[in-house]
Structure 1
Amino acid sequence: MTTPTDPPAPPGRPRPGRKLGPIADSVSSTHRAWLEPVRDTYLASGLTLSGLSDRISFAKSKLSELLRGVGLYPRWEVVFLIAAELDMPNWPLYRLWRQAAFEARRSGEWVERSTERTTILTTAHTAAPWDHRAFRDLVEGNYLLYAQVFLDDDQRDTAVADTFDILWLSWNDALTSHDTRRYAWNVLRATVMARTPHRDGRPELSTAAFDTVALRSLTGPADSMDKITEILKLFSAISRLPGRQFDVMVLRRLCGFAPEAVSALVGSSLATVSSDERHATRFLESVLCPPPSTEGKTP
């Protein structure tokens, strides 16, 4: 009895090989920040694991582990070789890799050893594409205001810097997307939310956001406790909104942006922003100012 065999691969084309598995659930957000762009670029390149393995002289099984985020945290030398084959900029990739290395509890000595063969190429600062730099100049201040609603100053700055590094790595995708502003906003949001404390699955707003709203609201010491209670209720209600409405209300109520500015920042039409704000306002009013109960009253 004969056993069936796979048809021969077409001449000149490598056999596809086993499909790359997904990123492991245990991968941290900082590790994922650089791993996802590398994976996306690899998958779009048309290379197989075998082909990439041959080019960088790195075992295919280890390469598969690296691209899925399993096993030991990878040394920069290997990531650098992969990036070179995929024609990815190493400067933003290195900064994201280094940050994730420290969060993976790798020592400074380990990081230095891991980069010693590529020091000159790694530490040589290269400029981002001019349109990326122009976009950053345009939106960075507003991104910082949004991030500060959730994070302290250091985390805010790191989250926004990481956002622009991730965008640099995937800038071609951003430019060819339906709307570059919306693509970039989604990267910012994911980066900020990954660092934001959550309670019951809902993001918590930072002390800075509370202080800002309190300063706008309080008129004197006499009403302080009542206003603080109202602000806490407002924050809790906003955290229950779906993502798009949530962002609109954070930008409108907590950051003080005009509807036109929100539209430009998040890459949604002014009509969409207005609709999201209207639906969100109705929800907040139903939570904060519920209609009086008629229970027990005689009609």
Structure 2
Amino acid sequence: MMPPDPSQPPPGRPGRKLGPIVASAGSVHRAWLNPMRDAYFASGRTLGDLSVEVPLAKSKLSELLRGASLYPRWEIVSRLATLLGLPQVPLGRLWRQAALDAHKSREWVDRSSDNTALTTTHAAPPLDHRAFCEHVEPDYLLYAQAFIPDDHEGAVSDTFDILWLSWNDALASPDTRRYAWTVLRGTVMSRTPHIDGRPCFSQAAFDTVALTYLADAEARTRQLSETIALFQVISQLPPTQFDVIALRILWRLSTERVSELLGLAPAMVRSSQRHAEHYLKSTLYPPETDEGTTP
């Protein structure tokens, strides 16, 4: 029997099913909407139940949970979070950033939270969450910087807030490290420029790979074209191979550290690297064919 889809209410739940998040919702908006939707689905409550305790009609609650219509005030989001058992601090930080991304003024943000404290300093995440974040933060920052150098700290901070919101799910997952890496990757890639659906490395990544090792200007110019070609091919790799190669080539992390960050067995990391390197070599340096030979 197929397991139930966690993105939908359980069978027999009264009321209309909640639709998906609208395409126009920004990445940080989605970052707090997804955990809130998960908490709503897990609660077993209906929109009608919530509308009794939140001053919104069912239709407006549906719009809020889909990211539709106007960006919601913090007072409403905070009340809903309390009913669904979500921590206020990480939710509040993500709500604020998403409001600014939606071109809301800081004055609007302050007014929207006048009646509900938007505290960001007096509550602490679970101890094991804090320990995990401290352990991975340096390498998470390096990974994010390869794609979004101007916002890599914000992307990692948002990743840790998303993990705080869903920490119980992370602990209940088959591998917390893999769960966390998936959150980081999704956060970073949602803010990374793409060409033809492929992520683009930043200039910081180019500098890291080879150019900093070459003092001669002419050699740096030659290496640049080769590096561009290499990164274009790397971007075509499947996600796991892509991440393994990026971490091993860009930052020269050990197999053991990559295994730890990705939540993969060392043998899987080595296998992914072998397959990726084979693809890179066969694409960048295809075998020569004898044009005079008749098949």
Cα separation, 1, equivalents of 2:216 and 2:49: 70
The structure 2 residue matched to 1:128, chosen from 125, 128, 135, is 125
8 Å CA contact 1:204, 1:239 repeated in 2: yes
1:230 corresponding residue in structure 2: 226
2:170 corresponding residue in structure 1: 174
Q: Share of identical aligned residues, percent?
A: 59
Unaligned 5+ residue runs, structure 1? 1-13
Partner secondary structure for residue 117 of structure 1:
coil
Cα separation, 1, equivalents of 2:56 and 2:89: 22
What is the deviation of 1:57? 3.0
Partner secondary structure for residue 151 of structure 2:
helix
What is the deviation of 1:123? 4.6
Partner secondary structure for residue 115 of structure 2:
helix
TM-score w.r.t. length of structure 1? 0.91
What is the deviation of 1:25? 1.6
Cα separation, 2, equivalents of 1:221 and 1:32: 44
Whichever residue aligns with residue 282 of structure 1, its letter is: H
What is the deviation of 1:60? 1.0
The structure 2 residue matched to 1:248, chosen from 244, 247, 256, is 244
1:88 corresponding residue in structure 2: 86
Q: How does 1:125-164 map to 2 (within 5 A)?
A: 125-152=122-149, 154-164=150-160
CA RMSD of aligned residues (A): 1.6
The structure 1 residue matched to 2:101, chosen from 100, 103, 109, is 103
Per-residue Cα deviation, 1:51-84 (whole angstroms, up to 9, x for no partner) = 1111223211100110011111111110000011
**Alignment CA distance shift 1:123-1:210 (3 Å):** closer
Whichever residue aligns with residue 19 of structure 1, its letter is: K
2:289 corresponding residue in structure 1: 293
Unaligned 5+ residue runs, structure 2? 1-11
Per-residue Cα deviation, 1:203-224 (whole angstroms, up to 9, x for no partner) = 1101111111124552633422
8 Å CA contact 1:167, 1:187 repeated in 2: yes
The structure 1 residue matched to 2:112, chosen from 96, 114, 117, is 114
Cα separation, 2, equivalents of 1:75 and 1:34: 14
8 Å CA contact 1:217, 1:227 repeated in 2: no
**Alignment CA distance shift 1:256-1:216 (3 Å):** farther
> Counting helix residues as a fraction of each chain, which structure ranks higher?
1
TM-score w.r.t. length of structure 2? 0.92
1:18 corresponding residue in structure 2: 16
2:9 corresponding residue in structure 1: none
In our comparison, the structure showing a higher alpha carbon Rg is 1
Runs (4+) off by over 4 Å: none
The structure 2 residue matched to 1:38, chosen from 10, 27, 36, is 36
* Stretch moving more, 260-269 or 18-27: 18-27
8 Å CA contact 2:211, 2:220 repeated in 1: no
Whichever residue aligns with residue 151 of structure 1, its letter is: I
What is the deviation of 1:23? 1.0
